């Protein structure tokens, strides 16, 4: 009996071993259509877990169970997937290149479509290109990648956002930011999303594409899809990089010796004795370089890890990241941690559920740079203005209060003390979750319902001790602000997709959405501190400052529909409609209606085109539609009230008064847009070209128009005026070289947009745009809104040189109180006087004439080189800093050239006024501080190498890559400031017409990075 058991066990073990050994080796090679080997191709035996990837030579090996007839699923990015049944034990598999412009799936509003079936203007961001070089924020993925999209980083403070414009600026007082849709959730915030989690980005530009989003589609739509898992393929991806950042350029200021000489010149101009003897000047030396004191070489680190995979019923993606960026200004920085989890589950053949979620936590240390243009100036501005003669610290090791103690120095705070002792710390917690279900009611008819929420909790703590110059203005300052933002969205759509017969197919979608927002918060502020040691930890050590924050709710309800009809797969029609009801508008205009239509003709599918072998694809597109803009604060349609205090019968009482005039007819801005486009593919799509012409007319502008002051108010918000944007876009992608060892692809895009104000209601112009009250006392404007001119037009006096002599002044007959060395400003109306209402003209334009981008991807064997160029042409910049650094407060530091290039006698200069001349600053905006801001930037250069770890580790590593990157390598420009990509004012309410104004915000940076990427 025991012998039988032993024999049975042996036979079972032998059977198991025999079963394991009964496999055969299948080898092969995967090539492209040109017979070049393809590395990294995924090969999986369908219905099993057996899978591998090809080597650098395109070779693969699989152990296949004997007696089976496997079917291999072969897939590779850029090629059409293939199910292949091998014949024999050594095979060669040839993959066909995917015709990118035809077969790619593009995400559009509430659905997807093949690119060949698109009727609207939609551009896809080549994520494969952007992954070659690291980016710090999601908006950066859009920069220079597609035509018609301008992305500007006007403030390089770590954690700051970018300004994005799609086909121009549509509005004056409402935001022109596009709508962002993440995994189907409209109105999402992209500032905290990890760029490495993104699978695809599609930009909807014309009204046909964006009308499905109705009142939020006027500024374009960016649809982001995050990564999901793949059935039968479990992967682990790891990426990390570390680098260093530095200021891209410094401004050359006077050193201590030059500044001492300058002070003597100023005092002589004023008829006062010199501040220093020549011997004293000679002993000053270089002094303190305050830019070197506040700037630093700052580290930057990023790490990502992700896990993805699944089976035929369940797919998952889990990703985590950590980003840490120190700022180039001391004591500034940003940290971000994110976790994303996406899951889909097929409950049955008809029912699928999905869950998308992300959580992020950020910490930001904000440098006190100038983002409001106010008199506070900021750390950077003070570093330029402060005397180089004074030290950073005194003999006792304490920060000097204003740099140096002298009657000849301006009262400017020590910028190093300001950066180190004044603190502004902000932290954000963001949680996003969206759950959805899809049910196929009958073949071709699907119901999708989703429910999502986006929550953001913000805490900001600001502290300014009495020992800093800024803090001393209020005898100390502390503030704690808490804000909470809630956003809920539910959507329900029915989609019907049916091929009626060989020549007719229809896709229709209809739905209902409901979205609500709530912003709430509190502000606790004190000044007149009795102690500095508590910071913001004890808010009882000062005098409270009354503040009030009210909840801000908003609600929007919508109905939508779209029909796509395809006739013979070459005549394509799209019709869409949306109705939006919004709580932010008046009771008489709550609802807006936004229809659109489009037609596309696939010319290349006509029989008479088949003989033209050079043309592989040709499609003409035509669209027209209406979209809206509701990006204004709530309550503007209602009467708002504010409290006022006054004295009545000898006592202080509090009253309530109206703060604005209600407008029950306040409604939507409407943009009606026409687009005509051509998509062309040549030589089997080795060259692909897209060209578009568009004309957008925005009417019923949400505009604060001037009203008689006898009403008790100066403006009222109403639907008045119109703006036009017309433009041309062109993009070309080429496959220049494609051999077994060398691949070289390039892409180039260029966009030209012309903006014009068509109407301002009953008025022809209105001053607009902010400037610093410290530079231009009394409250001034940077520009003008004028019918026939673009938004962002600078408005002021035209510079005409320098008065050289008394004789010249007398001969001119001018009535101005000027003297030799003062600037000449043109008397436009010839009355010999200089008056604001008669002699100011448009002196520049902030909006560029065209923007462009160029990308080159070159690979040679395992080496890769990616180069990205970005350009802006025809923009002007109002360089307010020039007034401060050329003709500012006389005892503040100046540009080094001021001492030698300023007028100091007849014929010495016709461009720079005399030292001590105050006319330029007193004359408001003038053309001599408007500069050409055109530039061409070598934005990114990345050199990479694919390590052969797949061979060494027997495919444990599926991919392994090391790289080195330089960002903002060099900028070709004639602009004299830190960087031509600049704006002091943030992209926020009240600043939308304050464009391209340089009053020393956080300057742009150059970054050097080294990194690794591994795939398992």
Per-residue pLDDT reduced to its tens digit, 424-433:
999 999 999 9
Judge residue 1016's burial from the number of C-beta atoms within 10 Å of its C-beta, 0-12 exposed, 13-18 middle, 19 or more buried: middle
pLDDT of residue 450: 96
User: What domains appear along the chain, each with residue ranges and CATH number?
Assistant: 21-94 (2.60.40.1120)
Please give the Cα distance from 934 to 81 (Å, whole number). Answer: 45
Residue 3 has pLDDT above 50, yes or no: no
Residue 18 has pLDDT above 60, yes or no: no
pLDDT of residue 836: 87
- The predicted model gives 860-874 an average pLDDT of 94
Neighbouring CB atoms inside 10 A of 437's CB total: 14
pLDDT of residue 841: 96
Do residues 515 and 187 make contact, with C-beta atoms less than 8 angstroms apart? yes
Token pair 């007696």 in the structure block, residue: 67
| pTM confidence score | 0.87
| Residue 847 Ramachandran class (φ > 0 left, ψ -120 to 50 alpha, else beta) | beta
- Closest-CA residue to 385 (of 772, 813, 949, 779): 772
487: which 2 tokens?
Answer: 């956003």
- The predicted model gives 277-289 an average pLDDT of 91
Do residues 125 and 140 make contact, with C-beta atoms less than 8 angstroms apart? no
Please give the Cα distance from 912 to 953 (Å, whole number). Answer: 68
Token pair 């000898």 in the structure block, residue: 650
β-strand pairing of 423-442 with 445-464: antiparallel
Q: Locate the DSSP E strands across 255-350.
A: 298-310, 314-326, 333-346
Q: Give the least confident one: 97-101, 196-200, 462-466, 811-815.
A: 97-101
- The predicted model gives 574-581 an average pLDDT of 95
pLDDT of residue 12: 42
Residue 11 has pLDDT above 70, yes or no: no
Please give the Cα distance from 392 to 624 (Å, whole number). Answer: 62
642: which 2 tokens?
Answer: 């504010």
Percentage of the chain exceeding pLDDT 70: 94
pLDDT tens-digit map of 802-819: 999 999 999 999 988 999
pLDDT tens-digit map of 506-550: 999 999 999 999 998 999 999 999 999 999 999 999 999 877 676
Q: Give the least confident one: 276-290, 399-413, 852-866, 879-893.
A: 399-413
pLDDT tens-digit map of 479-506: 999 999 999 999 999 999 999 998 999 9
Please give the Cα distance from 736 to 329 (Å, whole number). Answer: 43
Residue 20 or 721, more confident? 721
Judge residue 307's burial from the number of C-beta atoms within 10 Å of its C-beta, 0-12 exposed, 13-18 middle, 19 or more buried: middle
Residue 20 has pLDDT above 50, yes or no: no
Q: Measure CA 106 to chain center.
A: 22
Residue 374 has pLDDT above 60, yes or no: no
930: which 2 tokens?
Answer: 């408007």
pLDDT of residue 916: 79
Neighbouring CB atoms inside 10 A of 207's CB total: 29
pLDDT of residue 78: 59
Please give the Cα distance from 659 to 764 (Å, whole number). Answer: 26
Token pair 């070779």 in the structure block, residue: 59
pLDDT tens-digit map of 50-90: 888 888 788 999 988 887 888 888 887 657 788 888 888 88
Length of the chain: 1016
pLDDT tens-digit map of 976-1005: 999 999 988 887 877 888 899 998 889 999
Residue 966 has pLDDT above 90, yes or no: yes
pLDDT of residue 510: 96
pLDDT tens-digit map of 129-183: 667 778 888 888 888 888 999 998 878 899 888 889 999 999 988 888 999 999 9
| H or E, element range at 11 | helix 2-21
Please give the Cα distance from 62 to 44 (Å, whole number). Answer: 9
Token pair 């609600």 in the structure block, residue: 555
CA dist 390 to 379, 387, 470, Å?
A: 16, 6, 18
Whole-number CA gyration radius for the chain:
33
Residue 54 or 930, more confident? 930
pLDDT tens-digit map of 755-769: 999 999 888 999 998
pLDDT of residue 101: 45
pLDDT of residue 154: 78
Question: Quick one: DSSP state of residue 589?
Answer: S
Question: Quick one: DSSP state of residue 303?
Answer: E
Residue 772 has pLDDT above 90, yes or no: no
pLDDT of residue 573: 96
| Residue 809 Ramachandran class (φ > 0 left, ψ -120 to 50 alpha, else beta) | alpha
The mean of the pLDDT values for the chain is 88
Local confidence band at 953 (pLDDT 50, 70, 90 cut-offs): low
Please give the Cα distance from 420 to 467 (Å, whole number). Answer: 11
Token pair 């492209």 in the structure block, residue: 32
Do residues 935 and 850 make contact, with C-beta atoms less than 8 angstroms apart? no
Q: Measure CA 843 to chain center.
A: 28
β-strand pairing of 591-602 with 615-629: antiparallel
- The predicted model gives 118-128 an average pLDDT of 85
Token pair 């410290």 in the structure block, residue: 774
Please give the Cα distance from 71 to 333 (Å, whole number). Answer: 53
Residue 917 or 204, more confident? 204
């Amino acid at each position: 009996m025991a012998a039988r058991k032993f024999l049975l066990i042996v036979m079972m073990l032998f059977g198991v071993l025999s079963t394991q050994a009964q496999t055969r080796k299948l080898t092969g090679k995967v090539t492209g259509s040109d017979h070049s080997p393809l590395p990294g191709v995924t090969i999986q035996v369908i219905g099993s877990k057996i899978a591998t990837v090809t080597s650098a030579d395109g070779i693969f090996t699989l152990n296949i169970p004997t007696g089976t007839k496997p079917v291999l699923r072969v897939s590779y990015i850029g090629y059409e997937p293939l199910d292949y049944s091998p014949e024999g034990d050594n095979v060669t598999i040839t993959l066909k290149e995917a015709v990118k412009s035809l077969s790619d799936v593009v995400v559009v509003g509430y659905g997807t479509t093949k690119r060949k079936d698109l009727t609207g203007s939609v551009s896809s961001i080549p994520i494969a290109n952007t992954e070659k070089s690291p980016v710090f924020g999601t908006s950066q993925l859009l920069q220079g990648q597609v035509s018609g999209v301008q992305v500007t980083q006007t403030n390089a403070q770590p954690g700051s956002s970018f300004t994005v414009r799609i086909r121009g600026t549509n509005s004056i007082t409402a935001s022109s930011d596009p709508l962002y849709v993440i995994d189907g959730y409209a109105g999402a915030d992209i500032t905290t999303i990890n760029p490495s989690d993104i699978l695809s980005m599609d930009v909807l530009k014309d009204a046909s594409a964006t009308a499905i989003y109705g009142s939020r589609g006027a500024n374009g739509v960016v649809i982001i899809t995050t990564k999901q898992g793949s059935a039968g393929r479990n992967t682990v991806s790891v990426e990390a990089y570390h680098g260093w950042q530095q200021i891209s350029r410094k401004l050359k200021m006077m050193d201590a010796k030059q500044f001492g000489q300058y002070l003597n010149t100023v005092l002589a101009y004023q008829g006062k004795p010199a501040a220093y003897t020549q011997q004293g000047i000679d002993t000053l030396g270089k002094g303190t370089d305050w830019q070197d004191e506040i700037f630093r070489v700052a580290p930057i680190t990023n790490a990502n890890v992700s896990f993805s995979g699944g089976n035929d019923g369940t797919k998952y993606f889990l990703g985590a990241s950590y980003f840490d960026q120190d700022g180039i200004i001391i004591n500034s920085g940003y940290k971000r941690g994110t976790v994303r989890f996406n899951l889909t589950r097929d409950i049955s053949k008809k029912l699928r559920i999905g869950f998308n979620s992300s959580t992020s936590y950020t910490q930001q240390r904000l440098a006190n740079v100038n983002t409001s243009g106010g008199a506070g100036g900021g750390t950077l501005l003070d570093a330029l203005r402060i005397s180089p003669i004074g030290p950073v610290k005194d003999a006792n090791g304490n920060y000097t209060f204003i740099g140096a103690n002298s009657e000849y120095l301006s009262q400017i705070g020590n910028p190093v003390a300001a950066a180190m002792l004044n603190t502004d710390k902000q932290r954000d917690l963001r949680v996003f979750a969206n759950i959805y279900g899809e049910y196929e009611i009958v073949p071709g008819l699907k119901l999708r319902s989703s429910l999502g929420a986006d929550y953001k909790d913000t805490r900001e703590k600001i502290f300014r001790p009495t020992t800093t110059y800024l803090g001393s203005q209020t005898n100390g300052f502390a503030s704690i602000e808490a804000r909470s933002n809630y956003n809920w969205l539910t959507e329900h759509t029915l989609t019907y997709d049916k091929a009626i017969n060989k020549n007719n197919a229809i896709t229709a979608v209809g739905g209902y959405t409901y979205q609500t927002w709530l912003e709430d918060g509190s502000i606790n502020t004190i000044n007149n501190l009795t102690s500095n040691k508590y910071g913001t930890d004890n808010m009882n050590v000062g005098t409270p400052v009354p503040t009030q924050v009210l909840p801000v709710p908003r609600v929007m309800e919508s109905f939508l529909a779209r029909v796509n009809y395809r006739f013979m797969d070459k005549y394509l029609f799209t019709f869409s409609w949306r109705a939006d009801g919004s709580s932010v508008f008046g009771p008489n205009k709550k609802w807006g209606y936004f229809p659109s239509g489009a037609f596309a003709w696939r010319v290349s599918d006509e029989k008479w085109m088949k003989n033209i072998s050079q043309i592989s694809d040709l499609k003409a597109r035509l669209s027209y539609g209406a979209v809206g803009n509701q990006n204004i604060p709530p309550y503007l349609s209602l009467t708002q009230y504010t409290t006022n205090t006054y004295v009545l019968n000898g006592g202080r009482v509090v009253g309530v008064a109206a703060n604005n005039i209600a407008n029950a007819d306040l409604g939507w801005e409407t943009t009606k847009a026409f687009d005509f486009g051509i998509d062309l593919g040549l030589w089997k799509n080795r060259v692909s070209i897209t060209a578009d012409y568009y004309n957008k007319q925005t009417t019923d502008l949400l505009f604060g128009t001037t009203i008689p002051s006898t009403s008790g108010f100066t403006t009222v918000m109403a639907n008045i005026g119109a703006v036009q944007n017309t433009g041309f876009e062109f993009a070309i992608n080429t496959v220049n070289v494609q051999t077994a060892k060398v691949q070289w692809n390039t892409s180039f895009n260029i966009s030209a947009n012309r903006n014009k104000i068509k109407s301002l209601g009953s008025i022809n112009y209105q001053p607009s745009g902010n400037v610093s009250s410290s530079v231009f006392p009394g409250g001034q404007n940077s520009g003008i809104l004028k019918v026939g001119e673009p938004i962002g037009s600078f408005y002021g006096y035209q510079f005409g040189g320098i008065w050289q002599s008394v004789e010249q002044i007398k001969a001119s007959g001018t009535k101005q109180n000027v003297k030799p060395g003062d600037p000449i400003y043109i008397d436009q109306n010839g009355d010999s006087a200089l008056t604001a209402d008669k002699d100011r003209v448009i002196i520049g334009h902030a909006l560029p004439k065209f923007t462009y981008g160029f990308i080159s991807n070159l690979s040679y064997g395992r080496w890769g080189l990616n180069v990205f160029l970005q350009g802006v042409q025809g923009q002007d910049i109002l360089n307010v800093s020039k007034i401060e650094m050329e003709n500012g407060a006389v005892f503040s530091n100046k540009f080094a050239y001021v001492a030698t290039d300023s007028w100091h006698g007849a014929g010495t200069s016709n461009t720079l006024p005399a030292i001590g001349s105050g006319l330029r600053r007193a004359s408001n905006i003038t053309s001599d501080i408007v500069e050409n801001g055109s530039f061409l930037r070598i934005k990114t250069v990345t050199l990479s190498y694919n390590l052969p770890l797949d061979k060494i580790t027997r495919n444990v590593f599926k991919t392994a890559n090391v790289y080195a990157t330089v960002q903002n390598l060099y900028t070709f420009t004639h602009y004299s400031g830190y960087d031509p990509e600049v704006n002091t004012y943030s992209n926020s309410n009240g600043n939308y017409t304050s464009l391209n104004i340089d009053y020393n915000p956080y300057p742009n940076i150059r970054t050097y990075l080294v990194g690794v990427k591994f795939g398992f």
